[in-house]
Amino acid sequence: RANSTAFGLAAVVISNDINSAITISHALEAGTVWINTHGVYDPVAPYQGHKESGLGEEYGIEGLQAYLKKKTVMVKCRC
């Protein structure tokens, strides 16, 4: 039932069995899953939604990539 929504920004799993909680977290269609906590952010960890939640990613290298343009410059040296 948890995945039967059009959205998937974040989810929380509360459990005394950490192995079951981790298994459940892998099955959840959410960009961020907290286990036995909520609202903890780390600037090096990407934060993004799945399905119709959010546009793009924030934080981490993934969040920076939206602001970067890649360019290749090829030079033949006349040396």
| Model pTM above 0.75 | no
CA distances from 36 to 15, 17, 46, 69 (A): 7, 10, 19, 38
The SS3 of residue 6 is coil
pLDDT of 4: 92
pLDDT value of position 35: 94
DSSP 4: -
pLDDT single digits (tens) 9-37: 899 999 999 999 999 999 999 989 999 99
What would the pLDDT profile of 28-76 be if each residue is shown by its tens digit?
A: 999 899 999 998 888 878 788 888 887 677 777 877 777 777 777 777 7
